[in-house]
Amino acid sequence: MTPHPRCRYTDAMIFDPLYWLVIGLGMVLSLGAQAMVKGRFQKYSQIGTRSHLTGSQIAQQILRDNQIYDVTVEPVAGNLTDHYDPRTKTLRLSEGVFHSNSMAAFGIAAHEVGHAIQHARGYAPLKFRSAWVPLANTGGGISMFVIIAAFFMGGAATAMGATLAWAGIALFATTTVFTLVTLPVEFDASKRALAALNGRYVSEEEYKGAKSVLDAAALTYVAAFATSLMTLLYWAMQLGLLGGRRD
């Protein structure tokens, strides 16, 4: 006897080993990347640079080096909460970076300036990501409701189920696309940061410390994309859109 669609959905969420494998791998990748970032940040935040500049000062210096004078640098509460807001042209550095003279602070501050440089230069992937944010937020917010509805309608085995299945996967894919386009944006910001620091503001050893922190941070974005992609493929398989129906 063919299981009720609701039972298939419950089984997919609770009893399917592949589901837990996807969830487990995603957690391992994400937690591992976060632990590496925190570990390297803690290590290199204890090692000062030869200059007397702080993270906020190095950010302002690099902005001036790139003839960018309309970006404000300000502190923000929290740990590793650093970010650049293109809407207000504000570069916010966590207090541990804003006031610090460490290798880690230099790397992170320069990375966020890298985003400001991207914005000023009209870097296409950054523009695309910014424009994509509302779509990803909406798609990610309602995708699971549509996917659940597709299960109830029989997935790819019925006309209505197939329509809902494709719609649900397309909505979920908006978040996967966001994590994908984030990769070149973040990699490029780090590349710009290290180029700005190298030889002028840091020694060779200090450069390596800053690079180590940024390399670890990049893994968090790789982990986010890998997790989103695995989840997308999993639901496509469950709905019968990929590899045939799994009853």
Tokens of 237: 């398989």
- 95 is a catalytic site residue: no
Q: At what angle do helices 103-121 and 204-238 cross, to 10 degrees?
A: 60
136 SS3 class: helix
Q: How far is CA 64 from the centre of its chain?
A: 28
Cβ contacts of 193 within 8 Å, gap of 6 or more: 62, 107, 110, 111, 113, 114, 210, 214
Q: At what angle do helices 124-152 and 5-14 cross, to 10 degrees?
A: 130
Catalytic residue from among 74, 95, 112, 186: 112
**What are the backbone dihedrals phi and psi of residue 85, each rounded to the nearest 5 degrees, phi first?**
-105, 105
Rounded to an integer, what distance in angstroms lies between the CA atom of residue 44 and that of residue 103? 6
List active site positions. Answer: 112
